Structure 1
Amino acid sequence: MNVLIVGLGSIANKHISALKNINPDIKIYALRSSEDANSIEGITNLFSIIEIKVIQFRFAIISNPTYAHHQTIKELIPLNIPLFIEKPLLSKLDNGELVNLINKNTIITYVACNLRFLDCLQFTKNYITNERINEVNIYCGSYLPNWRPGRNYKKTYSANKDQGGGVHIDLIHEIDYAYWLFGKPKKVSKVFSSKSSLKINAFDYANYTLSYADFNTSIILNYFRRDPRRTLEIVLEKETILVDILKNMVYRDTELIFHSEKTIVDTYETQLRFFIDKIITEKSKLNIIDEAYEILEICLQND
């Protein structure tokens, strides 16, 4: 099986590791932006679309910077292969141009949001089925300078608005799993700002309210919390469910009712297996480009 990867950053390395677990004989090719790019053992560098066209690929993984996704996807459409697109889909809305182009060419797509495959969220989705929800609170806070040790955080794409950075889009996972759990909201309001001591030009704080027919969902995201916290609280009619995403645990009031030893890293392999078995083979429609664009609208519209 031949797989093409565009963008060899930290996320790509997680996908590569997962692919090798799935199929040790896999052949991985990387489309590089410069002929001076470093060589990585087990990966064949390619430098142009012309080189790509002579190889039969099972699918492509797009994991380059978000601002480059639009152009990359357009360039790969003529290959007529499935596209596994790392979140977020795009750095800005394009009035549905790319979605229409993908659908016109009947390209199989999947936009990666691996938290959907985390055990505690899978458990929670099943647990709340048919339960009356009164309120939802989602929180994700961590410290951007700790994300990439050894690098100046101010020079990373996350810190720079013109590179598609900002906590509101970097942590789109939280919006994605809210959409997955509760559906498309009827109304969205938001506040974005950059007022912290990080001193970056991208937004370092985002606060969303997603309004549903019977309840509201609050989502708070930030780059400046030194003690990481990632939680989902669901206030049901008779009890409150608290999901600790970092620990893969679920509490009912104060009682621990679910715990998995798996970590978020484990979801990368689960997600790729789902992509290969369900999206490519069975033509499942989970988080195809149309759905991912709706989630991007929640994230970005009128920002």
Structure 2
Amino acid sequence: MSSQPSSPPRVVVRGSGSIGQRHARVFRQEGADVWLWPVRDRGLTGLAGVDEATGARLLDDSSGPAALRDAFVVVATDTSRHVADALEALDGGAEKVLVEKPVAPSADAAEALDAHPRRSAVWVAAPLRAHEGFRHLRRLVGRLHRGGSAHVWCQSWLPDWRPDRDYRESYSARADEGGVLRDLVHEIDHATVLFGRPLLLGAVVDSGGPLDVESDQAATLLWRTAGDFAVTVRLDYTSRPASRGVVVRSPDGTLEWDVARATVRHTSAGGEVTEQVFDHDLDRDLVMGAQARAAMALRPSAPVDERVARGAPATLTEGIGAVRLCDEARATGALVIDDLAHREGRS
């Protein structure tokens, strides 16, 4: 007696901006039955209730709530809505929820989600974890017998992010939900996976700069880990050309991850160089597809090594932890500025 073929997983994507549409397209490529629920009318076009750009079927505020039950829900709305939309999905009976980064504008703002009885069903998007280069780098870091220093950076020019839109009108420009610490929280997240739980030692956060925005334009963080790594992180919207990567230096050699080139280079203590190229990492849809597969297949409660090996997103605890470190950096940076102003006032 033959078994009936299983139906494809049903995915509801809340939010139809650029990242919401990408999620809808990627989950469809992974074989899911995808429904797109816009927050506002973005002029989506299609026939018979199907979005032309993504092929996903469309929901509205009258049909959306009922579609949440037993679905895999992606929250891809504005950061200020993430917690409320995730709570609606959980209360509506969603099987699992994937919240875009950052999970909330601040760790305090995520408190209601963290206290929800179904918090263990929540993922937080972290697609850099799905890069094959990142997973290879983590294996190499794990083979270092002694700690060392690491520099992590993501530097670019904000107006280049979406050339067809005025960057000053984007969420990135808003002080309450934008800025490099929130936008580039990926670097905070993956650095804690690579080197361990951080103890923040100092931070400089710059709101001023060449861009006409209220949010922070640049940040430099320094922390120490229990694994005996000193880590510096540089994030900014104010650099050209764009650059992103990690360099680890230790008595056991040097490791370098160039995200833009999708390469990981290992230089041994004796000077022998090995470089590997991970072409799949250059295709954003393939990377997000790996994240999507892992998020659908696993639970956030799965062992950390299994989650990282599969390219799964961050857990809710990890997502909130990354935002909390950003909060601490903002507070520390403000103290540094106050201290400098005080010293200048005395001179």
- TM-score normalised by length of structure 2: 0.79
Instruction: Answer yes or no: is the 8 Å Cα contact 1:118–1:264 preserved in 2.
Output: no
Tell me which amino acid in the other structure corresponds to 1:216. Answer: A
Which protein has the larger Cα radius of gyration, Structure 1 or Structure 2?
Answer: 2
Q: Percent identity at matched positions?
A: 23
CA distance in 2, matches of 1:72, 1:216: 37
Equivalent of 2:168 in 154, 166, 169: 154
SS of equivalent to 1:123: helix
Quote the residue 1:10 is aligned against.
18
SS of equivalent to 2:244: strand
Tell me which amino acid in the other structure corresponds to 2:275. Answer: I
Quote the residue 1:269 is aligned against.
289
Q: 1:157 to 1:249 in 2, by over 3 A?
A: same
Q: Which runs of no fewer than 5 residues in structure 2 stay unpaired?
A: 1-8, 46-50, 308-313, 332-347
Instruction: Answer yes or no: is the 8 Å Cα contact 1:209–1:219 preserved in 2.
Output: yes
Quote the residue 2:322 is aligned against.
295
CA distance in 1, matches of 2:258, 2:319: 25
Instruction: Answer yes or no: is the 8 Å Cα contact 2:157–2:237 preserved in 1.
Output: yes
For residues 13-92 of structure 1, the aligned pairs below 5 Å read: 13-23=21-31, 26-34=32-40, 37-39=43-45, 40-41=51-52, 42-48=55-61, 51-53=64-66, 56-81=69-94, 82-92=96-106
CA distance in 1, matches of 2:221, 2:250: 20
Instruction: Answer yes or no: is the 8 Å Cα contact 2:83–2:113 preserved in 1.
Output: no
Q: 1:36 to 1:248 in 2, by over 3 A?
A: closer
Q: How much has 1:174 moved relative to structure 2?
A: 0.4
Instruction: Answer yes or no: is the 8 Å Cα contact 1:140–1:231 preserved in 2.
Output: yes
Tell me which amino acid in the other structure corresponds to 2:252. Answer: K
Instruction: Answer yes or no: is the 8 Å Cα contact 1:231–1:245 preserved in 2.
Output: yes
Tell me which amino acid in the other structure corresponds to 1:139. Answer: W
Quote the residue 2:310 is aligned against.
none
Instruction: Answer yes or no: is the 8 Å Cα contact 1:141–1:223 preserved in 2.
Output: yes
CA distance in 2, matches of 1:54, 1:143: 39
For residues 215-254 of structure 1, the aligned pairs below 5 Å read: 215-253=229-267
1:14-65 CA-to-partner distances (Å, cap 9, x unmatched) read 2222212210xx3322222346753322333323266422664421000111
Tell me which amino acid in the other structure corresponds to 1:67. Answer: S
Instruction: Answer yes or no: is the 8 Å Cα contact 2:201–2:222 preserved in 1.
Output: yes
Q: Is 2:211 the counterpart of 1:203? A: no
Quote the residue 1:139 is aligned against.
153
SS of equivalent to 2:235: strand
SS of equivalent to 2:293: helix
Structure 1 stretch displaced more, 82-91 or 65-74: 65-74
Q: 1:188 to 1:292 in 2, by over 3 A?
A: farther
Quote the residue 1:108 is aligned against.
121
Equivalent of 1:278 in 284, 298, 303: 298
Q: How much has 1:96 moved relative to structure 2?
A: 5.5
SS of equivalent to 1:186: strand
Tell me which amino acid in the other structure corresponds to 1:30. Answer: L
Tell me which amino acid in the other structure corresponds to 2:218. Answer: Y
Q: How much has 1:244 moved relative to structure 2?
A: 0.4
Tell me which amino acid in the other structure corresponds to 1:270. Answer: A
Q: How much has 1:113 moved relative to structure 2?
A: 0.3
RMSD: 2.2
Q: Which runs of no fewer than 5 residues in structure 1 stay unpaired?
A: none
Aligned residues: 298
Q: How much has 1:94 moved relative to structure 2?
A: 1.7
1:153-190 CA-to-partner distances (Å, cap 9, x unmatched) read 1111111213x110111000100001111121133422
SS of equivalent to 2:108: coil
Q: Is 2:198 the counterpart of 1:180? A: no
Structure 1 stretch displaced more, 209-218 or 143-152: 209-218
Quote the residue 1:165 is aligned against.
178
